[in-house]
């Protein structure tokens, strides 16, 4: 009977980690549906970006108030959860605060004291975050794409934080031997008097209940990440590492276009020949992107990493002037469509069955795409180096090169360049007539 709690703990731990691993495999599968792109170059620069931006939060603090609060929650939550290691050992082997004996009262007390102070700071920061999201009139939290589940998701994670931090402090406050030792309890010592009227047995029950709910809550939180925008807690690191290091505004060449140009410039080339020997039925590569599988894997990683903070949208000149474009919505729509494709594959036992939908039109409209000024403000503002512009430009390429569906003004400009060698509707011979004007 004495080992039943340990067995139950081991089962809960295995189930939580197993379900998390299953979701991570699904996440990896979905991201790998994207086209290949080489991001293995300039490793030292990539590692530096990851350490400065993902770990150091260097872009987050450009907006001081929200940046500081985020750093408090980030540091507090990460450091406090170092205690999870002790909880796991205690849960599996039936010990109690095993690190106290290993590390000694002084160092252990210092660690727990730090955890308690951080827990209070996290609680304060989370309450301020909730107020900013639900009470303060901050435009970027009131956009259409933030209604419904995105708003609930943002609040749920804050409630998770409040509950987990409160349980941690309650667990310490009702741990009688811990309080009697007087080490590492700068906060919980003021909570403990609230339980003075309880019997030792009741205190032990409360402490054990808080302990169990705390660790189970962490396992639930871990598995909730996959369904939440807070997946960026894990993905910010690879996302910043694999981010595009080329100068902003430098576009990539499409291999499909390059091959077409080579065919046109080679008189001996057979345009109807199979691209690869023995691949007579191979479908020519699409120009641009109309669905998530036309994007590269880094763009899909971007979509899953999006924090929905709205900094990109709040700095977008098109959005600020009333246009329909929201870079945040572009990333959210890409993630939603990718999830839909993933569920399709799961339903059809590993194969995608055409569902008659695509990212273009069903999620993102041409109006949104053509509203973009390609200024890169969204890319510059993103705290985790997401690149909404690359998705917008790939989808624009599809509209122009596959569907000839560019706006009339752009079609006129391209026609003028083709006929006159300039964007203006003047004959080349008349180009210098302005010189003779008085």
Among candidate residues 206, 241, 276, the one where a domain is terminated: 241
Is 374 inside a domain boundary?
A: yes
Distance CA 219, CA 364 (A): 35
Distance CA 88, CA 160 (A): 20
Same domain, 269 and 145: no
Can you tell me which residue has the tokens 């002790």? Answer: 86
Mean pLDDT of the 236-265 span = 86
Please report the pLDDT score of residue 282 as a whole number: 56
Same domain, 285 and 183: no
Question: What CA–CA distances, in Å, run from 76 to 62, 116, 122, 235?
Answer: 20, 9, 6, 19
Backbone phi, then psi, for 402, in 5-degree steps? -105, -35
Among candidate residues 186, 213, 241, the one where a domain is terminated: 241
- Res 278 pLDDT > 60: no
CB atoms inside a 10 Å sphere around CB 211: 20
Q: Where are the alpha helices (DSSP H) in 62-104?
A: 64-80, 83-93, 98-103
Distance CA 119, CA 82 (A): 13
| Least-confidence region, from 290-299, 310-319, 417-426 | 417-426
For 172-195, how does the pLDDT look when each residue is reduced to its tens digit (9 = 90+)? 999 999 999 999 999 999 999 999
Can you tell me which residue has the tokens 């059809």? Answer: 348
Same domain, 236 and 259: no
Same domain, 231 and 263: no
Mean pLDDT of the chain: 91
Residue 52 DSSP code: I
Same domain, 24 and 170: yes
Q: Where residue 356 sits, what CATH number does that domain have?
A: 1.10.1060
The continuous run of DSSP H or E covering 164 comes out as helix 149-173
Same domain, 287 and 174: no
Residue 123 DSSP code: H
Please report the pLDDT score of residue 273 as a whole number: 60
Is 117 inside a domain boundary?
A: yes
Please report the pLDDT score of residue 299 as a whole number: 97
Domain holding 128, by residue range, is: 4-31+63-241
Distance CA 329, CA 308 (A): 8
- Res 328 pLDDT > 80: yes
- Res 275 pLDDT > 70: no
Contacts of 93 (CB under 8 A, 6+ apart): 6
CB atoms inside a 10 Å sphere around CB 160: 19
Residue 245 DSSP code: -
Count of structural domains, the chain: 2
For 35, the 3-state DSSP assignment is strand
Is 297 inside a domain boundary?
A: yes
């Amino acid at each position: 009977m004495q080992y039943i709690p340990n067995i139950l703990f081991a089962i809960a731990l295995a189930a939580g980690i197993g379900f998390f691993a299953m979701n991570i495999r699904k996440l990896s599968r979905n991201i790998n549906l994207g086209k290949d792109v080489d991001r293995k170059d300039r490793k030292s620069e990539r590692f530096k970006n990851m350490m400065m931006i993902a770990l150091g939060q260097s872009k987050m603090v450009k907006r001081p108030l929200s940046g500081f609060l985020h750093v408090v929650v980030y540091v507090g939550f990460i450091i406090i959860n170092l205690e999870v290691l002790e909880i796991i050992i205690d849960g599996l082997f039936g010990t109690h605060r095993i690190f106290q004996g290993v590390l000694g009262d002084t160092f252990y007390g210092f660690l727990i004291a730090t955890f308690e102070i951080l827990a209070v700071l996290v609680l304060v920061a989370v309450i301020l975050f909730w107020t900013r999201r639900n009470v303060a009139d901050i435009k970027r939290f009131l956009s259409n794409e933030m209604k419904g589940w995105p708003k609930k998701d943002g609040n749920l994670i804050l409630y998770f934080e409040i509950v987990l931090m409160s349980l941690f402090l309650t667990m310490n406050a009702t741990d009688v031997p811990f309080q009697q030792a007087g080490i590492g309890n700068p906060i919980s010592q003021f909570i403990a008097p609230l339980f003075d009227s309880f019997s030792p047995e009741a205190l032990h029950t409360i402490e054990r209940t808080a302990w169990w709910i705390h660790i189970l809550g962490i396992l639930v939180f871990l598995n909730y990440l996959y369904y939440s925008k807070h997946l960026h807690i894990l993905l910010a690191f690879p996302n910043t590492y694999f981010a595009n290091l080329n100068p902003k505004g430098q576009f990539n060449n499409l291999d499909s276009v390059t091959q077409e140009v080579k065919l046109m410039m080679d008189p001996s080339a057979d345009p109807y020949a199979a691209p690869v020997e023995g691949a007579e039925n191979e479908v020519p590569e699409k120009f641009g992107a109309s669905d998530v599988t036309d994007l590269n894997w880094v763009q899909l990683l971007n979509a899953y990493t999006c924090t929905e903070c709205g900094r990109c949208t709040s700095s977008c000149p098109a959005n600020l002037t009333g246009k329909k474009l929201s870079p945040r919505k572009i990333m959210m729509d890409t993630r939603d469509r990718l999830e839909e494709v993933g569920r399709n594959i799961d339903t059809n036992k590993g194969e995608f069955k055409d569902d008659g939908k695509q990212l273009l039109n069903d999620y993102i409209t041409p109006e949104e795409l053509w509203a973009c000024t390609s200024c890169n403000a969204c890319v510059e503002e993103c705290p985790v180096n997401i690149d909404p512009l690359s998705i917008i430009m790939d989808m624009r390429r599809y509209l122009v090169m596959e569907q000839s569906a560019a706006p009339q003004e752009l079609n006129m400009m391209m026609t003028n360049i083709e006929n006159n060698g300039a964007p203006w509707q003047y004959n080349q011979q008349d180009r210098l007539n302005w010189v003779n004007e008085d």
